[in-house]
Amino acid sequence: MKYVDEYRDGELAQGLAAAIAKEARPDRRYHFMEFCGGHTHAISRYGVTDLLPANVRMIHGPGCPVCVLPIGRVDQAIRLALKHNVILCTYGDCLRVPASDGLSLLKAKARGADIRMVYSSADALKLAQENPEQQVVFFAIGFETTTPPTAVAIKQAKAMGLKNFSVLCCHVLTPSAISNILESPEVRKLGTVPLDGFIGPAHVSTIIGSRPYEFFAEEYRKPVVIAGFEPLDVMQAIRMLVRQVNEGRAEVENEFSRAVSREGNLKAQNLVAEVFELRRAFEWRGLHTVPYSALRIRGGFAEFDAEQRFGEDYVSVPDHKACECGAILRGVKRPQDCKLFGTVCTPENPVGSCMVSSEGACAAHYTYGRFRELPA
Amino acid sequence: MKQNYIRPLDLKRGRVDMSHGSGGRAMAQLIDELFAPLLGNDYLAQGNDGSVMPLPDGPGRLVMATDAHVVSPLFFPGGDIGCLSVHGTINDVAVMGAKPLYLSASFILEEGFALADLKRIVESMAAAAREAGVPVVTGDTKVVEQGKGDGVFISTTGVGWLPAGIELSGNRAAAGDAILVSGPIGDHGMAIMSQRESLAFESPIVSDTAALHGLVADLLASGVQVKVLRDPTRGGLGTTLNEIARQSGVGMMLQEARIPVQPAVAAACEFLGLDPLYCACEGRLIAIVAGADKDKALAALQAHPQGTGAAIVGSVHEDPHHFVQMTTGFGGKRIVDWLTGEQLPRIC
Amino acid sequence: MCLAIPAKIVELLPDDQARIDLGGVRKEVSLALVEDVAVGDYVIIHVGYALTKLDPEEAAKTLALFAELDDEARAAAMAQA
């Protein structure tokens, strides 16, 4: 696969590993947060940790839209399916997220809800066209990468005059999440969670560009390197971060230059601005309520807002008391620090969403990395 | 013996109805005009509730295996539920080291199911059974009301003969053994995925469904010390190896670069965020053999038309945690864990 | 997050759609989010939509950066392998 395989080359990896080991100063530690769940997955799946020197550590961030989806939002989707008998279309990632009353979308399906897994918002639109007597609701989750596809679907629905299509909008914004982490007490207080820099998300950045990160670099004096999706990209980004730290710089660098520009994809940005507007506040799992961090459907397209059409409001539901997803999402604790990890909470029986999504820090660690924790 | 029916079955436009399962004339007609002629053999022709078959001479033991097939869609690139049900059970018997001898087939038909489709499926089963040299000697048909079945479910049971001296079992893997696969993984799983509504993509991927008893016989005859044979169906290579690791109380180390995956399967997995390690195979073998015999085993597999893509993919070692680990193509390490339920395509 | 993969455009289709190819697997995707795309271009696909075009020059530059090692690091890499 072109533009994929070359970026996974094992020989180049050895070279990069040596380069990082050489540039990392032996007298200090480096802690970098990879914000994006896709990077977490890449690091685990390829075993990148084994190629890093011991004093360079990665902290897994909250960039997994499934992980930050609060229970209450899944409950909303389930209510729409069970109470209002809609055809509820969802990406595969959400099917197993645990919600209230021991339910998940998958379990609701077993109870008779019409839940359909789709690959694309376009599929949900097609279902609405093919089933004119039924209401179809699209459960729209995701960061800025996944938002434009929802915008396109809503616009197309309007152009077609579809009466039976609506969207439960749970799209969230990356910069807000980063701010939230940087503002959290543990990070601000020196020494609690040493964060020396960020690996910026790959595909979110193709849409929003590298510009939004300049604020963080300046304000918080932390370097940001936007990295491509492949393991060599991640390693190169780590190398660039180490270099910035050593040189005392705090800039935004773009390793993913083959797909990311400073301005991003303006066409996509404009489409999103046309259909969505900022919510004043939105609850994130683990990060609690974050202002101006999520989107809702604009007045002009209100007829496609499922929350309004069905009158189903968001009801906040607290997480399991012992669940440490919140702390883990903020990089304050590690999966193995959670009492439930690996015992009560496993991929088969997830308590928190960090365990449901394979991008979640807990699932990634459990599935790929827990052999490192056990005594030999 | 043959009854005269007022009107022959309409195998072009007819549909299954409740009378076909009720044991009366309608069911007899279904058997006489569809099942028996297609699957035809002397055992079925006996027309009794049970069939009587001889066992081979010499010391040995019986092996029996059973499987239910509920695959959807019923027809997929490279096969259908009919041949799949024959291959699957033959393979379950074969991986015990036994020579598959006879099959039974039980059909649960949904009211309204098209007879034309049923004919296609039974023809496919018959062809698969004939090619494998393993006849379907007895069967059963039931019909359930519309909405209570997915078209057709097929359950097959197979019996085989295990000659004395052959002992294959999931608990026999030991430190030092080599792990081989007989060909590229994930073909069947992705062939099915490519047909799923709303995931549909065009691809050259074709199911690998096949009867492997010939391949097994060649491997066993080659003089290689074989410890475990298993076919990685649901859950794929990853899950099956974990099962064996646990049964044998060992750990395993795989080399990702050595595991054969067809480019189209790899690409389809990339699209959907799936891992080929957990995609089902229906015509592949995992063989765990004594380390010293690994090259001989590879040669034996590769010499057979169903094993041309065989590879040595890893080894067995002591490990109290029974982890299946892997050195990635990238150079790092990870574990290949048990699969949690079905792999789901993801956007994240 | 945001599983996306680069794929080659092999055919432009009506209604702002295109057929892409990745390793022999073909799928129809939407071009609603991109502009000036031609057959032969590579685009990044996410949930059935092309997000952006891939720049082949930058791709090559990035690959070259990976391989950029000074002599000491190269010696260390050789010793490691």
The CATH homologous superfamily of the domain defined by A5-66+175-254: HypD, alpha/beta domain 1 (3.40.50.11750)
CB neighbours (10 Å) of residue C72?
11
Q: What's the pLDDT tens digit per position in A215-241?
A: 888 888 899 999 999 999 999 999 999
What residue ranges in B195-321 does DSSP mark as E strands?
226-230, 251-255, 286-289, 311-317
Amino acid at C24: G
Q: Specify whether B182 is located in the same domain as B156.
A: no
Subunits with 3+ Cβ pairs within 8 Å of A are B, C
Last-in-domain residue among B163, B193, B219:
B163
Looking at B163, B186, B217, the residue that finishes a domain is B163
Task: Phi first, then psi: give them for residue B284, nearest 5 degrees.
Answer: -130, 155
Contacts of A3 in chain C (CB under 8 A): 6, 42, 54, 59
Whether residues B159 and B249 share a domain: the answer is no
Q: Report which of B272, B252, B264, B119 is spatially closest to residue B184, judged by C-alpha positions.
A: B264
What is the pLDDT at residue A191?
46
Q: How many domains does chain B have?
A: 2
**Shortest CA distance to C5 belongs to which of A40, B272, B271, A42?**
B271
Region B191-216 average pLDDT: 88
* Distance from C-alpha of C3 to C-alpha of B272, rounded to nearest angstrom: 8
Distance (Å, whole) CA B193 – CA B305: 26
Per-residue pLDDT averaged across B162-182, rounded?
96
Q: How far apart are CA B284 and CA B307, in angstroms?
A: 8
Residue B262 identity (one-letter amino acid): Q
In the DSSP assignment, the letter for residue A9 is -
Average pLDDT, chain A: 90
Residue among B202, B263, B346 whose CB faces C23 most closely: B263
pLDDT tens digit string along A120-153?
Answer: 999 999 999 999 999 999 999 999 999 999 999 9
- What confidence score (pLDDT) does residue A187 get? 61
Same domain, B158 and B189: no
Chain A 334-373, residues with CB within 8 Å of chain C CB atoms: 359
- Block residue for tokens 């990896």: A13
Q: Domain limits of chain A?
A: 5-66+175-254, 325-370
CA B211 to CA B215: how far, in whole Å?
Answer: 9
Q: How far apart are the first and last CA of chain B?
A: 63
Q: Who among B263, B271, B273 is closest to C27 (CB)?
A: B271
pLDDT band at A59 (very low <50, low <70, confident <90, very high): confident
Q: Return the number of other C-beta atoms located less than 10 Å from residue B110's C-beta.
A: 18
Residue-wise pLDDT tens digits, B245-259: 999 999 999 999 999
Q: Within this chain, do residues B211 and B150 fall inside the same structural domain, yes or no?
A: no
pTM, to two decimals: 0.91
DSSP B152: E
Q: Do B145 and B183 lie in a common domain?
A: no
Instruction: For residues C59 and C74, give the distance between their C-alpha atoms in angstroms, rounded to a whole number.
Output: 23
Of C3, C23, C47, the CB nearest to B266: C23
Claim to verify: residue B326 and residue B192 sit in the same structural domain = yes
Domain range spanning residue B314?
178-335
B332 three-state secondary structure: coil
Residue B65: inside a domain: yes
Residues B227 and B112 in one domain: no
| pLDDT in the model for residue C69 | 67
Nearest one of A200, A211, A185 to A33, comparing CA atoms: A200
Please report the pLDDT score of residue A376 as a whole number.
45
- Interval B48-70 mean pLDDT: 92
Q: Does A325 touch chain B (CB under 8 A)?
A: no
Q: What is the mean pLDDT of residues C8-34?
A: 95
Chain A: nearest CA to C19, how far in angstroms?
15
Q: Which helix (H) or strand (E) holds B29?
A: helix B25-30
One domain for residues B121 and B89? yes
Do the domain assignments include residue B173? no
Residue B292's pLDDT band, with cuts at 50, 70 and 90, is very high
Average pLDDT over residues B276-301: 97
- Please judge whether B328 and A46 are an interchain contact, meaning their C-beta atoms are less than 8 angstroms apart: yes
- Which among C2, C24, C46 has the least Cβ separation from residue B263? C24
Task: Give the B-side interface with A, CB within 8 Å.
Answer: 198-199, 257, 263, 266-267, 270, 272, 321, 323, 325, 327-335, 337, 340-341, 344-348
**Structure letter (DSSP) for residue B197:** T
Q: Looking at residue C60, which CATH number applies to its domain?
A: 2.30.30.140
Contacts of residue C22, defined as CB under 8 A and 6 or more positions apart, other chains included, come to A1, B267, B270, B271, C5, C6, C7, C8, C45
The domain in which residue C56 lies consists of 5-80
